[in-house]
Structure 1
Amino acid sequence: MSSLPVSIRVAQAIGLTGAAFLAGNITSFALNVIPSLRNSRTKDNVPAQTIAKQWTHMYHYGKTQNPPISVVSAAALGYVAWSVRSGTELAKLVPRNASPLYAASAVLIMAIAPYTVVFMTATNDRLHAHAAATEKTTAAEKNIEELLKKWDSLNLIRGLLPLAAAALGMIAVLG
């Protein structure tokens, strides 16, 4: 496999590093940020609406950072999948199933977007609405806590998509 062109090696590195970064970035919110926000609510009595506002800021950073990384990583892995597909000269230099594994990696990375739209939009919208609300009620406070818990679970699942992409990509590299 050392005979692969530099362009393929660079694309592998970009794709796999991006997938691993996305997995870590996305799951860090579920494993660290949301539990910290929830602790601020329960242990420090920070109002739930304030927690929702903090979540909104966190959401904004993820929404601006992750899509470009997803596109670049998926494009790099897609390029590798296309380059080493069956029938090409490069196919002889990689493990037999490398091309489909790279393609699956690219698809898993791009699946973050539809997963977010289908499974998380309603929760996101409700949290944004709570953050923007001017009126505080006991029911709203409870609802925010429930929404954060739900978002945390959904986000952890979303983080598994690029983790699986990185794993498949590594299998393709190592054979």
Structure 2
Amino acid sequence: MTDIVVAQMIGTLGCGYVAGGMMGLSLVTIPVLVIPARHPSTGARKTSGTSAAHLSHQWLNAYNRGLSIYPPTAAVSSLANAYLAWVLRDAPAPTAVNYSWGSIYATAAVITMGIMPWTFLVMWPTNTKLMAHAARDDAALAEGTKGMVVNEQEKAKRARDDQDVPALVEKWGELNFYRSLFVVAGAVIGFCGVVWME
């Protein structure tokens, strides 16, 4: 097995793995987290199935697990595609494509790492609101909440923040789905490269 084949496998399979995991978060995990409770007798849906504090902690746990797996894997896949772009920089691709292999794999590497600017430019406001909500009571719980006084204004703000959490989690799921499309594109380009090289 040559270095080119190994790099193709790492680049394409890595992108596919990341895309599947990110889409799984958006299409399965997030909808399950925000599922409304059902009324026991009628089956009618209520507005929330779990407390806002618990929901934001569940989201944060899923977010941190994904953060430890998907960006590093995407980076390794992009490095493999960048390696292919460098090694194949002068190799002409099929005439139907009209580009060099180097430009094809460079495109796969750049598109895959598009998840980073998307995260910071588009998702960051939602991320920070959810993270702040998840950590909102951590200091108070560490010190003990006995005797803690919360004024009416603070109670109203907390209630508004709690109301926003399910919608924020759903919005994050939607934005994360769109982010996964960068990696899907990297996987498709890499896969096409494998097929065309045969």
Deviation readout 1:104-157 (Å, 9 max, x if unpaired): 110011111111011111111100111122387432222101111211111000
Q: 2:21 is matched by which residue type in structure 1?
A: N
Q: Which residue of 2 aligns with 1:151?
A: 172
Aligned positions of 1:17-96 closer than 5 A = 17-39=13-35, 41-43=36-38, 45-86=49-90, 91=91, 95=94
In the alignment, does 2:126 pair up with 1:130?
no
Query: Equivalent residue of 2:94, what SS?
Result: coil
2:11 to 15, 28, 43: 15
Distance 1:149 1:45 in 2: 14
TM superposition shift of 1:171: 1.6
Aligned partners of 1:66 and 1:100: how far apart in 2?
Answer: 24
Aligned amino acid, residue 34 of structure 1: I
Q: Residues 34 and 49 of structure 2 are in contact (CA less than 8 Å); yes or no, is this contact kept in structure 1?
A: no
| Contact preservation (8 Å) 1:95, 1:172 | no
Letter of the 1:111 counterpart: G
**CA 1:82–1:95 in 2, change beyond 3 Å: closer, same or farther?**
farther
State the identity %: 35
- Structure whose alpha-carbon radius of gyration is higher: 2
Which of 102-111 and 133-142 deviates more? 133-142
Q: 2:34 aligns to what SS in structure 1?
A: helix
Q: Output one character per residue of 1:50-97: Cα deviation in whole Å (capped at 9) or x when no partner.
A: 0100100111111111222122110101111111112xxxx26x5353
Find the partner of 2:102 among 99, 102, 108: 99
For residues 33-53 of structure 1, give each alpha carbon's deviation from its aligned partner in whole angstroms, at most 9, with x where no partner exists. 1000011x5447310210100
C-alpha deviation, 1:99, in angstroms: 2.1
Please report the TM-score for the alignment, with normalisation by the length of structure 2. 0.77
Deviation at 1:13, TM superposition (A): 0.3
Whether the aligned pair in 2 keeps the contact of 1:52 and 1:130 (CA below 8 Å) is yes
Q: Distance in 2 between matches of 1:174 and 1:85?
A: 18
In structure 2, the gaps of 5 or more residues are 39-47, 138-153
Q: Contact conserved, 1:120 with 1:151, CA < 8 A, in 2?
A: yes
Once structures 1 and 2 are overlaid, which stretch shifts more, 29-38 or 99-108? 99-108
For 1:95, give the aligned amino acid: P
